[in-house]
Chain A
């Protein structure tokens, strides 16, 4: 990572898209960066975490995306170049800040990176975040490769500074998590020494101010039009006699470009780099004499609808293909095959299916699962033991613990977004007779679980609120948060206590327990269920992946003479290190981390540790 701090213009190196984004920000002289981790944007923060100090900038993991947006806004309003980045659904959390931030604007450049996840590799939806650019009047650029991501970030800072409004850079998984050759340009000194010059007539969004700010924003967006027309990221890849014209942006462009170059297709492509505002004049020029046009963009027909409107003026005869014609879909990410199929249909060329086929087996699925040693597994097991067969509604949340949805735990019944576990649990408790649990992690609690707790207690909801504290933000790669005692810069920080916060909200039942002690955990849950009102249980044990870096426990094994093959361990607990072949249970020694939870679950004491660790 230190490589990113080398001031070595011309150097070529292999960078992940997210690392290229960081390098772009460094080449733009970023002074402030803030985020809440979320895939596919997480490695941007992980990278800043390693280099921010050496570079001389400020970086923080904020408690959520809205706070990240607001701190970055204040930095840029104070004359310090800033960037806030998040996954696509994180923009929803930050959008309240972003929509009015567009009105007041900024003084130094501010870039917002929104990383989309078509195909939902690690997300709960695949919403097309580009629509925020229209909703908020936000200039937007869409890079296609790691190299371009670096250049786009730099340019976005300049555009933002010129227009004095934030600029959105929209990426997707195949840009963020693509790795490609990136050429360095000159490194810039980080922005610093901010000073906020007061101007309440611009920065205080009361109605009379906003009434002036909105027309100003519309004016700035008009100024953005010539910038979009001139953008060097917008480019035509022509053909002498094109049989098909294509307009494309983002990761989808890569596949159509590949098809054109490698199969020598008679197509011309207009790649759009800046997609809000659109370069209408260039689009008009491009489609004026075209007969047929295919719009290649992942997810919604964002460009397609606009290009249709533009075509009505300049070329009403133009046949436009894309989502509406059924050649492409607004569901899932594109790949070379989907693009080739669409293009070969339009060019009437045979699409050759040339690949191996093998006899079809019912291959077992391989969903992600809780790791061996994961403390969440003990928590879930204990909840079910405490319920002793009684049915309950499990309101889940976003994090590793969502994997409780898998067999055999089945401890997730309802989930929509970060923090939804607690609000929804309150709704279930008020509208049903069912026993209700809310499950969320420590980082998610600080992100958006706190307001639900206060609201639920005030409205006298009745459920067990389980805040599964594994001392980190695990799923996204172990980032610190307000409860960990460490900042994004690596400095010590005051520790926010979940228990104190709950007590401060007025909760009477607040108990902390180590879920590695199954019996004790069951006991806590039995009492929590009995308690009227919200009972807060904090199962506290470090994430196994983190703990295993520091300890080396001997694995466990099954004593085959003692084992009665009751299968409680696999059927009720289900650690992935437990292997069942026929009726026989063994433990995979490579996977087992020696946590000992399964040994406590076994009714016959047949699981034993092999020796000292």
Chain B
């Protein structure tokens, strides 16, 4: 089996670590080799968070080289853009369109680009394999904005790039989220799943 490389990018506090552990946990359960890199420490205070998940028969390093991601899963549109060199022509780029404006912009030292007029069109220019979704509104529809990481896990699953079945990933989500929010998270998962499934038909 070939190896699958995932790059998850976003902002500290978006549930990116949990997301990568959902995928890693499902892969372990299936008996695959898994190697991941995580971010702990200062960057979690609202900084850029990049985690990787590599799955396969044998995985040698925890980092993904430029152009070698099979999927770039972006939790924030500017961060997706920043990570674009991790993707090549064959890479699926899935991005949340809901921005998180850094404080450097609020205090007037920097500008935040327009998502609609600049970021998304530029992403569309550089790849045909772009899927956009507003994970935050889908999460709110499912019950709470906090489930947006699970919306994105659902979207990743719908791509059918992972060597894992939908049910296997859902089981892993169940292991990672609190019991009382399970239903909400399952609905969030389906919303993301359906968004990419229709593209992949």
Indicate if A550 sits at the interface (CB-CB under 8 A): no
Among A357, A366, A571, A578, the residue within 8 A (CB) of B104 is: A366
Contact B45 A571 (CB under 8 A): no
Please give the residue numbers on chain A whose beta carbons come within 8 Å of chain B beta carbons, in ascending order.
12-14, 16, 39-40, 42-43, 121-122, 145, 174, 177-181, 254-255, 257-258, 261-262, 335-337, 340, 353-359, 361-371, 400, 403, 406-408, 475-477, 567, 570-571, 574, 576, 578-580, 590
Residue in chain B with minimal CB distance to A567: B108
| Interfacial chain A residues near B142, Cβ < 8 Å | none
Q: Which one of B64-72, B152-160, B177-185, B188-196 is at the interface? A: B64-72
Q: CA–CA, A579 to B67, complex, Å?
A: 35
Q: CA–CA, A335 to B86, complex, Å?
A: 12
Q: CA–CA, A336 to B7, complex, Å?
A: 14
Would you give the shortest CB distance from B95 to chain A, in whole angstroms?
Answer: 12
Would you give the shortest CB distance from A358 to chain B, in whole angstroms?
Answer: 4
Contact B28 A371 (CB under 8 A): no
Contact A580 B44 (CB under 8 A): no
Please give the residue numbers on chain B whose beta carbons come within 8 Å of chain A beta carbons, in ascending order.
3, 11-12, 20-21, 24-25, 28, 33-48, 58-68, 78-79, 81-82, 84-89, 91, 101-113, 118-119, 122-123, 125-127, 145
Contact A359 B122 (CB under 8 A): yes
Contact A39 B103 (CB under 8 A): no
Contact A366 B11 (CB under 8 A): yes
| Interfacial chain A residues near B89, Cβ < 8 Å | 354, 356
Among A258, A354, A364, the residue within 8 A (CB) of B67 is: A354
Contacts A337-B65, A355-B88, A357-B85 aside, 14 further interface pairs with beta carbons under 8 A come to A122-B40, A179-B37, A180-B59, A254-B61, A255-B60, A340-B65, A356-B67, A358-B81, A358-B122, A367-B47, A400-B45, A406-B103, A578-B106, A580-B106
Contact B82 A363 (CB under 8 A): yes
Contact A571 B107 (CB under 8 A): yes
| Interfacial chain B residues near A255, Cβ < 8 Å | 60-61, 63
Q: CA–CA, A369 to B145, complex, Å?
A: 22
| Interfacial chain A residues near B112, Cβ < 8 Å | 364
Contact B41 A122 (CB under 8 A): yes
| Interfacial chain A residues near B28, Cβ < 8 Å | 12-14, 181
| Interfacial chain B residues near A257, Cβ < 8 Å | 60-61
Q: CA–CA, A423 to B39, complex, Å?
A: 32
| Interfacial chain A residues near B101, Cβ < 8 Å | 364, 579
Q: CA–CA, A335 to B63, complex, Å?
A: 7
Contact A356 B63 (CB under 8 A): no
Residue in chain A with minimal CB distance to B82: A363
| Interfacial chain B residues near A354, Cβ < 8 Å | 67, 88-89
Q: Considering the complex of A and B, which 7 residue pairs feature the smallest CB-CB distances, nearest first? A: A355-B67, A122-B41, A39-B41, A336-B65, A258-B60, A254-B61, A368-B47
Contact B41 A475 (CB under 8 A): yes
Contact A355 B66 (CB under 8 A): yes
Contact A364 B39 (CB under 8 A): no
A-B CB contact pairs (8 Å), 9 listed: A262-B60, A335-B63, A336-B68, A355-B66, A358-B123, A358-B125, A361-B118, A364-B101, A366-B79
Among A145, A261, A367, A476, the residue within 8 A (CB) of B41 is: A476
Contact B108 A178 (CB under 8 A): no
| Interfacial chain B residues near A408, Cβ < 8 Å | 107
Contact A368 B12 (CB under 8 A): yes
| Interfacial chain B residues near A14, Cβ < 8 Å | 21, 24-25, 28, 34, 36
| Interfacial chain A residues near B37, Cβ < 8 Å | 174, 177-179
Q: CA–CA, A122 to B38, complex, Å?
A: 13
Q: CA–CA, A177 to B51, complex, Å?
A: 10
Residue in chain A with minimal CB distance to B110: A364
| Interfacial chain B residues near A570, Cβ < 8 Å | 106-108
Residue in chain B with minimal CB distance to A590: B145
Contact A356 B21 (CB under 8 A): no
Contact A355 B85 (CB under 8 A): yes
Residue in chain B with minimal CB distance to A477: B40
Would A364 and B65 be within 8 Å (CB), given that A174-B37, A407-B109 are in contact? Answer: no
Contact B103 A403 (CB under 8 A): no
Contact B38 A580 (CB under 8 A): no
Q: CA–CA, A579 to B65, complex, Å?
A: 35
Contact B145 A407 (CB under 8 A): no
Would A364 and B111 be within 8 Å (CB), given that A181-B28, A335-B65, A359-B122 are in contact? Answer: yes
Would you give the shortest CB distance from A559 to chain B, in whole angstroms?
Answer: 19
Would you give the shortest CB distance from A420 to chain B, in whole angstroms?
Answer: 18
Would you give the shortest CB distance from A286 to chain B, in whole angstroms?
Answer: 21
Contact B61 A366 (CB under 8 A): no
Would you give the shortest CB distance from A546 to chain B, in whole angstroms?
Answer: 14
Contact A574 B103 (CB under 8 A): yes
Contact B122 A178 (CB under 8 A): no
Q: CA–CA, A109 to B105, complex, Å?
A: 53
Residue in chain B with minimal CB distance to A117: B41
Would you give the shortest CB distance from B43 to chain A, in whole angstroms?
Answer: 6
| Interfacial chain B residues near A13, Cβ < 8 Å | 28
Residue in chain B with minimal CB distance to A370: B45
Q: CA–CA, A312 to B86, complex, Å?
A: 42
Would A177 and B67 be within 8 Å (CB), given that A364-B104, A364-B105, A407-B109 are in contact? Answer: no
| Interfacial chain A residues near B11, Cβ < 8 Å | 366
Would you give the shortest CB distance from A538 to chain B, in whole angstroms?
Answer: 23
Would A359 and B107 be within 8 Å (CB), given that A179-B38, A257-B60, A368-B12 are in contact? Answer: no
Contact A357 B126 (CB under 8 A): yes
Contact A122 B122 (CB under 8 A): no
Among B43, B86, B105, the residue within 8 A (CB) of A122 is: B43
| Interfacial chain B residues near A177, Cβ < 8 Å | 37-40
Among B20, B42, B127, the residue within 8 A (CB) of A356 is: B127
Contact A356 B65 (CB under 8 A): no
Would A358 and B107 be within 8 Å (CB), given that A42-B41, A179-B36, A257-B60 are in contact? Answer: no
Among B48, B61, B84, B86, the residue within 8 A (CB) of A258 is: B61
Residue in chain A with minimal CB distance to B17: A179
Q: CA–CA, A82 to B126, complex, Å?
A: 55
Residue in chain A with minimal CB distance to B121: A359
